[in-house]
Amino acid sequence: MKKFISGNHAVAEAVRLCRTQIVAAYPITPQTPIYEKLSELEAGGELGGIMMRMESEHSAMAACLSASLPGVRTFTATSSQGLALMHEMLHFASGSRSSVVMANVNRTLAAPWAFWSDQTDSLSQRDTGWIQIYCEDNQEALDSVIQAFRIAEKVLLPCMVVLEAHYISHFMEPVDVPDQTQVDRFVPPVDIPRRFEVDNPRFSLGVVNQKQYRDFRRLSQEAMELALEVIEDVDKEFARTFGRGYGMVEAVDTEDADLVLVTTATITSTARATLPILRKKGLKIGLVKIRVFRPFPTQALRKILDSVSKIAVIERNISLGREGIFCSELKAALANSPVRQQIQGYLAGIGGTDVDPGMIERIVVDAMERKEAMDGPIWMTE
Amino acid sequence: MAINEIKFCGRGGQGVVMASQMLGLAFFKAGMYPQCYPVFGGERRGAPVVSFLRVDKEKILLKCDIKQADELLYFDTTLINVEEIRGLMRPGGRILLSTSEPVSDLEGISEHTLGLVDAPAIARKLGLGHVINTAILGAYCRFSNLLSMDHLISAIEEIVPAKREENMEAARQGYGELIITSA
C-alpha cells in the first residue's frame, strides 16, 4: 500500500514489518521521528516487540548486542554524536558476530553544532566491522532495512542502513509499504545461533591469545567476503518478491560515456534527473551509484569502471587531511585497472549544503575540461 | 516542466508545515507524486517558518532545495518581501495571501496573479484560533485549479489532529471566500 511518508517514518514501518523483538534507542535529531514512530506503534499495540528507552546511545547498542546474543531480532537508530558515542560498542557488536540492525541518519558531527546531512558520521565507523548500505530515497530506506535483517542474520555481522538528514529523514514522498504477509515470507522468524542463555548465564565474550585474535579477525573478514554474495542474493530475491531491486552498485548510461560520475545516497537521485539534461546538450555522461560501502564492492565497480578513463566522484563527506572518503576508496579499488584513469574528487553538499542539477553540471564541465586530476579534492560552492 | 513547486511562508503556530504536508497528501490522494519538506531551524510561536512542496505526475528524483517557485502562499502579509518574490517566482506564478485588509502596496510583482483570503476571520469564526492553514488550503484549491476539494477534505480528515469538522468547514469557507486579483 502506498503511503505519503517521511524517510524516518518509512524506516519505522520496515522495523514493524520485520517483527523486530527489541528496539533499544535514544533520541537524537534528525533520527528522533524514527524513535517516536516506533514508540507510537508500540503504544498502539502494532509493534509486536519491546521498546527500550535507554539513557544513552552507548547503552542502546549494548542492549541490542545483549539481546542479539541470545538470538533476538534487534534494531536501533541514531545519528551523528549518537553514533560517535556508540563507537566502542559497534566494535563489540561486530566482533561478537551479532545481527543487530541499525538505521543511521547522516548528520554533521560537532563542532560546530549543526543538524544537516553529512556522511562523515557513518563513514567514520568504516573499520568497526559493520555492513553499511547507503540509500538514495525513502523507498530504498524502507526496503534496505528489510534486506538488512536478512543479511545480518545470515552472515552474522551487524548492518547499518544509512539515510541522509533532511533529504530523506524529513522529505515526505510516496512510499510503497509492503503487506505484512509478503514481508513475513521474506523475513522469516529470527533463527540465529543462541550464544547466551538468560536462565544459565555465562561469560560470552572470552579473552583470547594473539593467534586466536588473528583467527577471529580472519573469520570476520571471511564473513564480509561472504556478505558480498549474500547482499546480492538477498537483493535479487527482494526484487523477485517486491518488484524493486538495487544491487550493491548500479550503472546508468555508462556504456558510451565520456565521463562517469560516481555518487552515493541522495546526490545519486539528483544526478539521475540531471543526466537526460546533459545528454540533450550532447554530453555523454554516465552514472555509477555506490550503495554498499562495507563490504566494499570492488569487483562490481571494476567490472563497470575498469575501462572508463574519466571519473568524477561527487560526495558529501571529507576525511580531513585527505579527501572525500568514497573517492579514496574508489581510487584504491581501481589501482589495478589496466587503463590509466583520471579520477577527480569533488566535495559537494558538505554540511548539508544544496547539490542541485546546476552544480552537477558544473562538475561535469570541469571534469570534461580537466587534463590532469588533482590529488586533492575540489570544493564546490553555490 | 510539468513540475509544480510551491513555497509556504508563515509564522510558528499557524500550521505552515502541516499545511504543506496536508496539501502534499491531498495531491497524493489525487494520484500525483508530491515531495514535501519543511525547513527546520529555531521554530517557536510567532517566528517565521517556511515549508516546501513539489508536485509532479512522475516520480520526483530531485533531492535539492526549491529555489524557483510557481506558487507562493503567505500566511501573514507582514512576511511579504518583494525582493524575495522577484528572485523566487517563475513567470506566470501565483501568490496567495492570507489577509484581512485590501492589499495595495505590492508594486513590482503585478505580473503575478494574486489570490486573497481572510483566513484569520474564518479560523476565528470556527474557533480554530491562530491555525489558519485549512482555510488557506481551501482557497488554494480554487486559486490553483490543480486539485479538487474532495481530495483536500479527505487529506484534512486523515491528518488534522483535532477539530476535524471545523477544519473541513474552514477549507470550504476559504474556497468560497477567495478573491482573485488578476495580473
Confidence of residue B92 (pLDDT cuts 50, 70, 90): confident
Distance in angstroms (rounded) separating the CA atoms of residues A333 and A311:
13
- Please give the Cα distance from A363 to A357 (Å, whole number): 10
What does the block give as the cell for B59? 516520480
Of B28, B38, B65, the CB nearest to A4: B28
**CA proximity to B7, closest of B124, B90, B78:** B90
Residues 337-356 of A with CB under 8 A from B: 354-356
Cross-chain CB nearest to A269 (options B34, B40, B63): B63
- Look at A4 and B64 and tell me if their CB atoms are within 8 Å: no
Give me the residue from B35, B36, B64 closest to A356, CB to CB.
B64
Say which residues have a Cβ less than 8 Å from residue B154's Cβ, sequence separation at least 6. Answer: B26, B29
* pLDDT, mean of residues A188-201: 93
Interface test with B, best of A163, A173, A270 (most B CBs within 10 A): A173
User: Phi, psi (5° rounding) for residue A232?
Assistant: -65, -45
What is the DSSP track for B42-66? S--BTSEEEEEEEEESSPP---S--
Residues 241-270 of A with CB under 8 A from B: 266-267, 269-270
pLDDT of B108 strictly over 70: no
Contact yes or no for B65 and A171 at CB 8 A? no
CA distance B61 to chain A (A): 5
Q: Report whether pLDDT(A333) > 60.
A: yes
Identify the band that residue B181 occupies on the pLDDT scale cut at 50, 70 and 90. Answer: confident
Query: Does the structure show a pLDDT above 50 at B1?
Result: no
| DSSP β-ladder status, A285-290 and A292-294 | unpaired
Is the pLDDT assigned to residue B183 strictly greater than 80? no
Q: Is A362 on the interface with B (CB under 8 A)?
A: no
Q: What sign has the CA pseudo-torsion A296, A299, A303, A309?
A: positive
pLDDT in tens, A34-78: 999 999 999 999 999 999 999 999 999 999 999 999 999 999 999
Q: How far is CA A57 from CA A60, A61, A63, in A?
A: 5, 6, 10
A4 with B25: Cβ contact below 8 A: yes
B38 with A170: Cβ contact below 8 A:
yes
Mean pLDDT, to the nearest integer, of A364-377?
97
Residues B48, B115, B90, A4, Cα dihedral to 10°: 70
Q: Considering only the beta carbons, identify the residue of A171, A267, A272 that sits closest to B37.
A: A171
Q: State residue A55's pLDDT score.
A: 97
- The C-alpha angle B176, B177, B178, rounded to 5 degrees, equals 100
Mean pLDDT over each residue of chain A, to the nearest integer: 97
Inform me whether the pLDDT recorded for B133 exceeds 60: yes
Residue B154 at interface with chain A, using a CB cutoff of 8 Å: no
C-alpha neighbours within 13 Å on the C-beta side of residue A330? 33
Residue B61 to residue A272, Cβ atoms within 8 A: yes
Q: State pTM to two decimals.
A: 0.97
The CA distance from A146 to the nearest CA of chain B, in Å, is 22
Q: Chain B residues with CB inside 8 Å of A171's CB?
A: 35-37, 63
**How does pLDDT run across A254-275, given as a tens digit for each residue?**
999 999 999 999 999 999 999 9
With beta carbons under 8 A apart, name residues in chain B contacting A166: 37
DSSP lists the bridge partners of residue A260 as A286, A311
Could you tell me if A133 and A291 are in contact, meaning their C-beta atoms sit under 8 angstroms apart? yes
- Average pLDDT of every residue of chain B: 92
Strand pairing of A249-252 and A310-315? Answer: unpaired
Are A60 and A78 spatial neighbours (Cβ–Cβ below 8 Å)? yes
Chain B residues close to A4, C-beta within 8 Å: 24-25, 28, 34, 36
Q: Is B3 within 8 Å of chain A by CB? A: no
> Chain A contacts of B34, Cβ < 8 Å?
4, 172-174
A154 — pLDDT class (breaks 50, 70, 90)? very high
Q: Could you report the per-residue pLDDT of A90-127, keeping only the tens digit for each?
A: 999 999 999 999 999 999 999 999 999 999 999 999 99
Q: What are phi and psi for residue B154, nearest 5 degrees?
A: -65, -35
Q: Which of residues 68-87 of B touch A (CB under 8 A)?
A: none
Strand-pairing partners, residue B157, are: none
pLDDT (tens digit, 9 = 90+) per residue, B26-75? 999 999 999 999 986 665 677 889 999 999 999 999 999 999 999 999 99
The predicted pLDDT at position B41 comes to 64
Residues from chain B contacting residue A273 (CB–CB below 8 Å): 61-62
Instruction: Answer positive or negative: Cα dihedral of A35, A36, A39, A40.
Output: negative
| Percent over 90 (pLDDT), chain B | 77
Smallest CA–CA distance, residue B102 to chain A, in Å, is 35
Mean pLDDT of all residues in A312-328: 98
Q: Is the pLDDT of residue A205 over 90?
A: no
pLDDT band of residue B104 (cuts 50, 70, 90) is: low
* DSSP string computed for B66-101: --SEEEEEES-GGG--HHHHHHHEEEEEEEEEE-SS
- Cβ neighbours, 10 Å, residue B165: 11
CB spacing of B62 vs A269 below 8 angstroms: yes
- When pLDDT is cut at 50, 70 and 90, the band that residue B107 belongs to is low
Probe site for chain B from A4, A175, A272 (most B CB atoms < 10 A): A4
CA contacts within 13 A on the Cβ side of B106: 23
ipTM of the complex: 0.95
State the smallest CA–CA distance between residue B86 and chain A in angstroms: 19
d(CA A360, CA A346): 10
Concatenate the DSSP letters of all residues of A276-289 into one string: HHHHHTT--EEEEE
Q: Is A176 on the interface with B (CB under 8 A)?
A: no
